Amino acid sequence: MSLKDLLDASTDNSLSGQKWQILRQSIIKRLLSTGNATIAELGSELQSSVPTVTKAVNELLAEGYVVDMGKITNSGGRRPSLYSINPTCAYFLGIEVGRTSMSIGLQNIKSEFVSLELGTSFILENTQESLLELCALINSFIEDSLVDKNMIIGACINLSGRINSMEGFSYNFFFSENRPLTEIISDQLGLPVRLENDTRAMAFGEYREGVVDGEQNIIYVNYSWGVAIGIITDGKLYYGKSGYSGEFGHSTILDNGILCQCGKLGCLETEISGWSLVNQFKEAIKEGKQSKIVLDENSSSLQHHAIIAGALNLEDNLCVELVSRQSEKMGRYLSIILNIFNPDLLVIGGDFSLLGDYTLLPIQSALKKYSLGLVNRDVKLKKSSLGRRAGVIGACCVVKEKMLSSLINN
């Protein structure tokens, strides 16, 4: 049986029926939140008798929500059995949609991938045809995974730009119909669907399964084709009133007269981003500087990857120089974020994080130079540990948190 069934309200509306359902849900909540337990431990923590808990656990075993992990050793007497959540009782689907590719993964209830595809070719366009192709690719992935769709609790789809997760709208892609995008995709997939901003999902993935080590106030920087930040305060994602927080790259703080892709002049991204790196590289070549890298003019959105690879794999002088210069500027403007938020942890993610010290050292140096000393002393700087899986992992974490919140947070 799927965990969906246990999350639904009990069909027995009597007081005893409702209490029984609450006990069953409480056992699942305990196993989800803190791990394996014996009958005695469950009875003590849930303030219920051993016979009652035994009956409930036996039901959950028969229904497939719980598994018996075997006997554990003790100091004497009968050895008790240890019980755990059944990893196959629920699955969560995460989809990261980029400009020229998409990644998709299916995790079980224990956050283990049972199927994962990174970098599948897909051209993101604001058209009905592009949306239908996206849904077809997702349905094909589910079919190939051999997991029963009825066991999938829900899906989360990450898109860049302005996302209203609460209402299910994207204001950059697929907004032609006058109804939530989540409803449209849900009809195509036959699953509950949540929409999330890509950077915010990455931040949550890093918080749940990445480099975060107990920190509760975190700034995650998605330093890629564009630039954005994800904000976590007191262990929770910060959305802002309508879900548009984190558009750091579109802060109009530069007096350079350069037109940003958003239509405004002087945004941070005009000098610090993947697309600005491409422009800087082309200008340097025009000025007569030499490089081992030759850009593919037919794949403009992939060109910054070529420059990053040139710095990382070829130690190309021009690539290293441009990346280091940009990263120093990034650190300077991130110092503003540190001074405002005073976070525990600053995580550098996205394509530029793959460069390691080529990116981190200039950022760290600039942070020390431009942020307040007391603030800089408080913050840790780390590189994302999830790499290109951050978006998919984050999407799975978001949908798990959303779908199970009624059970876990009660």
Q: Is 3.30.420.40 the CATH number for 213-385? A: yes
* pLDDT at 356 (0 to 100): 93
For 68-104, what is each residue's pLDDT tens digit?
988 887 666 678 889 999 999 899 999 999 988 999 9
For 200-220, what is each residue's pLDDT tens digit?
999 999 999 999 999 999 999
* Domain 3-85 identical in fold to domain 213-385: no
For 140-152, what is each residue's pLDDT tens digit?
999 999 999 999 9
Q: What is the CATH number of domain 3-85?
A: 1.10.10.10
In the predicted model, what is the mean pLDDT of residues 310-324? 95
Distances in Å between the alpha carbon of 243 and those of 5, 46, 239, 311, 409?
30, 37, 4, 35, 22
For 379-397, what is each residue's pLDDT tens digit?
999 999 998 899 999 999 9
Domain boundaries, the chain: 3-85, 91-202+391-408, 213-385
Q: What is the CATH number of domain 91-202+391-408?
A: 3.30.420.40
Q: Percent of the chain, pLDDT > 70?
A: 93
Q: What is the 3 state secondary structure string of the chain?
A: CCHHHHHCCCCCCCHHHHHHHHHHHHHHHHHHHHCCECHHHHHHHHCCCHHHHHHHHHHHHHHCCEEEEEECCCCCCCCCEEEEECCCCCEEEEEEECCCEEEEEEEECCCCEEEEEEEEECCCCCCHHHHHHHHHHHHHHHHHHCCCHHHEEEEEEEECCCEECCCCEECCCCCCCCCCHHHHHHHHHCCCEEEEEHHHHHHHHHHHHCCCCCCCCEEEEEECCCEEEEEEECCEECCCCCCCCCCHHHCECCCCCCECCCCCECEHHHCCCHHHHHHHHHHHHHCCCCCCCCCCCCCHHHHHHHHHHHHHHCCCHHHHHHHHHHHHHHHHHHHHHHHHHCCCEEEEECHHHHHCHHHHHHHHHHHHHHCCHHHHHHCEEEECCCHHHHHHHHHHHHHHHHHHHHHHCC
